[in-house]
A and B are shown apart, each in its own frame.
Chain A
Amino acid sequence: MSEPMLLRCTDVGVRFGGVKALDGVNFQLRKGELRCLIGPNGAGKTTFFKCLTGTQRPTSGRVEFRGHDLAGKQRHAIARAGVGIKTQVPNLFDGLSARENVWLGLRGLEKPERARATDRALERVGITGLATRVVGELAHGQRQLVELAMVIARGPELVLLDEPAAGMTREEVERLARVVLEIAREHAVVVVEHDMQFIRMLGGHVTVMHQGRVLAEDTLEQILRNQTVRDVYLGRSNEA
C-alpha cells in the first residue's frame, strides 16, 4: 500500500504500577477502513481506546494520527484534530434537545453552514424526528443514536465507537449497523464491541486483543476459525 496510514500505533504500552495493561500494541488503520476491536474482558481494549481518545496517556509508544503524535495530547485537541469519539457510557447534554446536542459538535463553523451540517447529521443517523426532543427524556437506544450524530457531524476522518450496541434491542442493533456502515463509507471507523452478531453485520476486519497485546488480526471468518483465539475465548489457555 503506497497510501500512508491514517492511524499508526507503534509499540503502545500502559503500565499501572506493576501491572501492564497494554504491552507493545501495534495497530494500523487505513483511511476509510472499518475495524472491529474485540477481546475478552481485561484484554486491554478499553485502555487502548482511552489512549486513542486522550483520556489515558501511554507510558510508552506512539499514537500517530495523520502523521502527528497524539499520545498525551489534551482531549479537546485530539477531537479538533479530526477524531470523533463515542464513549461507552453515553456522554450527552441531557438538558438540551437532540438538535442542540449535534449543533454543539460543530464548533468553528459559520452559522448557516452549522445549521445545515446539523440537519445532515441528524438525517444520516435517521433521527430527524427526534430533533426537538430533550435528550434526557429519550430511550437508551435513541440516546446512542444522538451521540452518534454528534460524533459524525463534523465529518471526522476517524470515528471511534466504544460499545455502541450496548443495551440495545435487536431492531436497534440492526438499525445501528446500517448507520455505522453508512458512516464507514466516508470515515475510518474503529468499533470496540462484544456483540458478535453486530460485528458480523458490520463485516470488515477484526483485531483480537488479549492480555494487553494484539493476538490476531483478520476477517471475522478467519478469526472464528483461529484455534488460538478460540482457546483464549473458551479459556483453555491463558498464554497466547
Chain B
Amino acid sequence: MMTTSTKWPCVAAIGVGLAAALLVPQMAETHTLLNATIYTSLAIYALSMALIWGYGGILCFGQAAFFGLGAYAYAVAGINFGDSTFALPAAVLVPALFAAVLGYFVFYGRLTDVYFSVITLTVTLILYKLANSTAGEAYRIGEARLGGFNGMPDTPPLNLPFDPAQPLTPAQGFAVTIAALVACYVLCKWILSTPYGRAIVAVRENEVRAELLGHDARFIKLTVFVIGAAIAGLSGMLFATSVFVSPTVFSLANAAQVLIWVVVGGIGTLVGPILACGLLQALSAYLGKIGFIDPAVMLGLVLIGSVLLAPKGLLPMACGGFTQAKRRLRNARSAGLERSHAS
C-alpha cells in the first residue's frame, strides 16, 4: 500500500482534470456547472481529510473549522482588498496558522487521540457559536460585516488575477476549482512519495516505533495537520465563492460529512474519499429532492454500516468481497471484548 507509484496517478489526474475543465462546461448548463463546482470544492475538503486521517492517522472531528476559516478569511479579505487575488493567500494561511497553534498545543502536549478528537470537535463548535453571534453592524472586520447566522452578505466572487472588474464566468470558476483539486492531489501524492511522506505513514502505523527510530512524531503530525488545514481552507474558499459564507461552514454536520467520506471512501487512499464525496453528495441531493427520506438518515446508516462491516472503507471493500466483512465482524467482536479496557 505504501509503495504506490506516484507518476502515473498524477499524470492521469492532470489528464482527467484537463478533460473535465474543457468538456464539462460545453456539455452542462450553468446550474449543473455550479453544482459541479460545489462538488469539486467539497472533494478538495475530502482530500484534506484523506491526507490527515487516511494517511496521517490524525482523526480530526473538527476539520470543518479550517474549511470555515478558509471561507470566512477569503470573504473578509476579498471585501477589504476588493480583489480576490489577495484573498486567496488569506484563505490558505489563516486556517494553517490556526492549525499550527492548535496542533502545537495538542501534539507537543502529547494528548491522546480521544482527547484530540474531542478538542477539535469543541473548536469547531466554538467557531460555530461565535460566527452565529456576529449579527449586527458592530461585528465587522475592516469593511466586511460578519453577518451572524445569516452569513456574510456580498461574498465576493473570484476574479481574474489582479483584475477585480472581471469576475470569473461559471466555466472559468469550474476550471479553477478543478485545477485546484488536481494541484492539491498532485501535491499530496508527491508529499507521500518522499521520505517525509513515508515517515507520516510510519507514525500512523506505530507512533512508538517511529519515535524509537528517530522520527519526531510530534513534528510530523503537526506539519501534516497544518498542510491538511491549508487544503481544507482552500476548499472552503472555493465553496464560498460558489455558494456563500455562513456559520453552517463550521457546523457539526459539515464536520461529520467529511469523516463519512473518508470512512466510506477508504483509509489510505486519496481517490477513494474524493469518489465517496461525489457519490454521497449526489445521493443526498437525490434524497433531498424526493423528500421521502431525510439525507441524514441515509448518511447515518452508511456510517454505522461502514464502521461495523467495512472499517477500512466501503469502496475498498466493494472491490474486495462481502464475506470478508462478515468474518471480520465476528473476529472483531471477540477481539474487541478481549481488548476492551486495554486503554
Contacts and interface: CB of A to CB of B under 8 A. Distances in A.
B319 interface: no
What does DSSP make chain A's interface, helix, strand, loop or mixed?
Answer: loop
A213 B99 CA distance: 46
20 contacts: A74-B216, A76-B213, A79-B212, A87-B208, A87-B209, A87-B212, A91-B206, A91-B208, A93-B202, A93-B209, A94-B205, A96-B1, A96-B2, A96-B201, A100-B198, A103-B198, A107-B215, A108-B214, A150-B213, A154-B214
Interface residues of A, number: 22
B195 interface: yes
Contact of B214 (A91, A94, A107): A107
A98 to B, nearest CB: 13
Contacts of B77: none
B210 interface: yes
Nearest to A156: B214
B199 A76 contact: no
A104 interface: yes
A188 B233 CA distance: 50
Contacts of A108: 214
B213 A107 contact: yes
3 pairs of A and B residues whose beta carbons are closest in the complex = A91-B209, A93-B205, A79-B214
B2 A100 contact: yes
B211 A76 contact: yes
A95 B1 contact: yes
B340 to A, nearest CB: 18
Contacts of B214: 76, 79-80, 105, 107-108, 154
B209 A92 contact: yes
Query: B201, B211, B213, B215: which has the most chain A beta carbons within 10 Å?
Result: B213
B211 A75 contact: yes
A189 interface: no
Interface in B90-114: none
Interface string A17-54: 00000000000000000000000000000000000010
A171 B213 CA distance: 28
B237 interface: no
Contacts of A103: 198
A16 B56 CA distance: 34
Contacts of B205: 93-96
A85 interface: yes
A104 B208 contact: no
A91 B199 contact: no
Contacts of A107: 195, 199, 213-215
Interface in B207-233: 208-217
B3 interface: yes
